[in-house]
Structure 1
């Protein structure tokens, strides 16, 4: 359709696929054969007849492990998504409301045929891989002076990244060891190393994984000691924190791992295609080069993490998506781009993010439309593509705000969120204002634009939600409410302009309405690189 070509560069007509919900299974307990049937016939549904998702954002009544067959996108944190056959598969950190995942394996997974309805599939590992303890204690034995082994390490299982390389799926996963290096007090000693490991599978539906062991770890660079001078000392003994992996293949076939969190910035290291691991790890230089930071190279504590890197063959750029700030409330997503894998990465303002400049545009931020509590902590992005249609999507968790009445520890309610990605004419990504719901495409008319909309400008404010204001689109092309000026909508190109600025319009699901229903949204950029989200009021 013309509208979709203008917005995303492909002509996808989204179909609804009926979904069979199944009970959750672990990798050792495959789905019963009769539960794996897929309805073969697809039927295009008129927009006005579309019945979208109705599940509640407050899922606390079904948050427990025994209710996992009802979770859908509940209890999702740090998701990573890839498509295999008819299904999208999602893998995540172990975090959950009320620690529902505890004792049930590591790196939970789920799958979906339509990105809307998800079934829980179980965990990748039933227990911690043995190589972690062995590698940790071998490193301790090689220290000067040598340190005794840790018999029962305390682990955190964080932020996996799923990717397909040839016919094999690789899962790069993060493991942190939270024991102090020396003694028992984390205020006087830095905690032990973080590790990135690798597991591979040829068929994600099987749940079978072969663990390939360590890929990379945090390593001392000699500039700081293992000693920590209290809880506010963040100058770590290592340069790059070995968590939050992402992976990209260059047009000439090079493979690169991008990783890092807070300490000294984000690193990129080239990978041996035959092993999925670095070619060597003999010196500190082998652990990669810094490609992004938030401040100078000398600053060991920088408020960014969770790099996600893609190469867009349509634009010829690598796009580095970054999570800024702490994860519970303030999390927000930025992006920078480069024509070279190692940078320099620059923002839309032309400033050098590799050298430590702030990255703009801002793509997600704590926000609130009318009729809802709003969402915070919206980042640690997974940016993935449908290989068949070439459509791009953004996924992350969102958290409910703090102190929502009637919800115990409301900020720990974490819901997986999928959003469409649109591309501006000059090649910058934008994230949809509303979560994806599979609303069928339809040609939008000027009459659809006329009326009252809610608009949010994603100005950066630490731990503060951006709230909506009303904008009125009058039939005579004037603006009212909180905006003055004029607007225009070209029905042939499906292009909306507001006071001369271009916006991308789409059909969407009004998740905040009661009952939920179809609506329209727009998204664009301000002159300073802030996303502007609009949603028509119903």
Structure 2
């Protein structure tokens, strides 16, 4: 493992105090978040039982709510502590990384929460299932879905995501140690297809889809799989140490079970290639001029709505590195089918989701841009820089409409340009995310 060994995930460190009163937390202390929207349009955020300032007010998966994904209100925990079966198996004192999904069940709508129970540094872990009629609850525990044992198993049963693919359900899960897996789930019961009975753990662990070698502490976690436009799937996952080098990478596959590959064709299960070059980095530590900046952003989920997709993730703050909070960013798809992430945080009603109004001509890109390049080391908070884009620099760029631009040849580009809200200057602006000629991702905002 890495610096994560310093403290358990449920109580990682004490930094500059924010408040011991959860009602004042807002976005703070939301770790490993996932967000859903109820049938009335209210957003609900579920996250790990974590408090950077002192003892937890309770355990059982934190819940927050919001009308706009910008302002969050803490409302308590989903469950009253760690459910008995999961606690007895793992010895956990709190729940980690809950994933919540709306399911159309035979007797109406059912919300399913897959939570993780573990103790830090141990592979004796369990993913459990709880259900509720509404995200606000009441939540009822149903038992363990999959469990691992430290001395028996190579991987760790935590960090679950339920992926619904037509009539098939899959549990995408795993963290550090032996890698990430996909396990078949019974759509009716919510338990593994090969479980001896509902409420009992799976008989197998599913298919391996990603791993890293011991040279980098096998450091990957927090998988989230989403459909890719035009077919196939994209895997969003977090790499490296939660303390300072955490960041988000992506890979794609034709099948849910893999193989997942990056733009260079590297397979995500490869243990022989350079572990720093496998996977495409789409979000990492950085600081825009005048902004607080992000330190070790990651453990992301994707909220999919009718007109948009949003990356929901936690981040630490460069000037308060022991503090963490939830942030939301737009996820966009390039013309070549790669998911990239906006550099500006989500601004609610100020955002423009009508892609038909996004830039359609190359001439709109001429001007001064503040950019961040994710090609550098992830242990550094990369500063932004200004780039003057001229018409000559855009030669060969092809517009595909709806903000998509590509260029072939010796300096290939695969970019999306879209409206955003400049959080520093407090004005609407164009933003972009692009796969750049040197093989990394560059993001930015037009400032002149």
TM range (shorter): 0.7 to 0.9
- Could you tell me how far apart the structure 1 residues matched to 2:211 and 2:123 are? 23
Aligned equivalent of 2:153: 238
Aligned equivalent of 2:126: 195
> 1:254 Cα deviation (Å)?
1.9
2:316 pairs, out of 399, 408, 422, with 399
> 1:69 Cα deviation (Å)?
3.9
2:115 pairs, out of 168, 173, 176, with 173
- Could you tell me how far apart the structure 1 residues matched to 2:202 and 2:139 are? 31
1:424 pairs, out of 334, 337, 345, with 334
Structure 1 stretches lacking a partner, 5+ long: 1-58, 137-152, 179-189, 221-225, 227-236, 405-409, 480-484
Aligned equivalent of 1:372: 291
> 1:217 Cα deviation (Å)?
1.1
Matched, 1:264 2:178: yes
Deviations 1:189-238 (A, max 9, x none): x8571111111112124x31111111111136xxxxx4xxxxxxxxxx42
1:456 pairs, out of 362, 366, 372, with 372
Aligned equivalent of 2:193: 279
> 1:295 Cα deviation (Å)?
3.6
Structure 2 stretches lacking a partner, 5+ long: 1-14
In 1, are the aligned partners of 2:23 and 2:75 still within 8 Å (CA)? no
In 2, are the aligned partners of 1:508 and 1:518 still within 8 Å (CA)? yes
Aligned equivalent of 1:520: 430
In 2, are the aligned partners of 1:379 and 1:397 still within 8 Å (CA)? yes
In 1, are the aligned partners of 2:406 and 2:412 still within 8 Å (CA)? yes
> 1:463 Cα deviation (Å)?
0.9
> 1:496 Cα deviation (Å)?
5.4
- Could you tell me how far apart the structure 2 residues matched to 1:105 and 1:440 are? 35
Aligned CA distance change for structure 1 residues 426 and 156 (closer, same or farther; 3 Å): same
Aligned equivalent of 2:51: 96
Matched, 1:64 2:19: yes
- Could you tell me how far apart the structure 1 residues matched to 2:221 and 2:323 are? 21
Aligned equivalent of 1:508: 420
- Could you tell me how far apart the structure 2 residues matched to 1:192 and 1:424 are? 38
In 1, are the aligned partners of 2:335 and 2:400 still within 8 Å (CA)? no
- Could you tell me how far apart the structure 2 residues matched to 1:74 and 1:454 are? 27
In 2, are the aligned partners of 1:93 and 1:158 still within 8 Å (CA)? yes
Matched, 1:161 2:99: yes
Larger Rg: 1
Deviations 1:491-531 (A, max 9, x none): 97645568763432222222234xx3332211110245421
Q: Secondary structure at the match of 1:432?
A: strand
Q: Secondary structure at the match of 1:132?
A: helix
- Could you tell me how far apart the structure 1 residues matched to 2:32 and 2:293 are? 19
> 1:117 Cα deviation (Å)?
2.4
In 1, are the aligned partners of 2:115 and 2:160 still within 8 Å (CA)? yes
TM-score where L is the length of structure 1:
0.70
The residue correspondences of 1:93-172 to structure 2 (distance < 5 A) are 93-99=48-54, 102-135=56-89, 153=91, 155-166=93-104, 167-172=109-114
> 1:72 Cα deviation (Å)?
3.1
Aligned CA distance change for structure 1 residues 528 and 212 (closer, same or farther; 3 Å): farther
> 1:457 Cα deviation (Å)?
1.3
2:225 pairs, out of 305, 309, 317, with 309
> 1:300 Cα deviation (Å)?
11
- Could you tell me how far apart the structure 1 residues matched to 2:336 and 2:114 are? 32
TM-score where L is the length of structure 2:
0.83
In 2, are the aligned partners of 1:365 and 1:460 still within 8 Å (CA)? no
Aligned CA distance change for structure 1 residues 397 and 276 (closer, same or farther; 3 Å): same
2:343 pairs, out of 433, 452, 455, with 433
Matched, 1:214 2:147: no
Aligned residues: 412
In 1, are the aligned partners of 2:336 and 2:414 still within 8 Å (CA)? no
In 2, are the aligned partners of 1:446 and 1:491 still within 8 Å (CA)? no
Deviations 1:78-114 (A, max 9, x none): 10111211112110001233036x1333211112222
- Could you tell me how far apart the structure 2 residues matched to 1:131 and 1:491 are? 53
> 1:462 Cα deviation (Å)?
3.5
> 1:325 Cα deviation (Å)?
0.2
Structure 1 or 2: larger strand share?
2
Aligned CA distance change for structure 1 residues 339 and 285 (closer, same or farther; 3 Å): farther
- Could you tell me how far apart the structure 2 residues matched to 1:487 and 1:300 are? 39
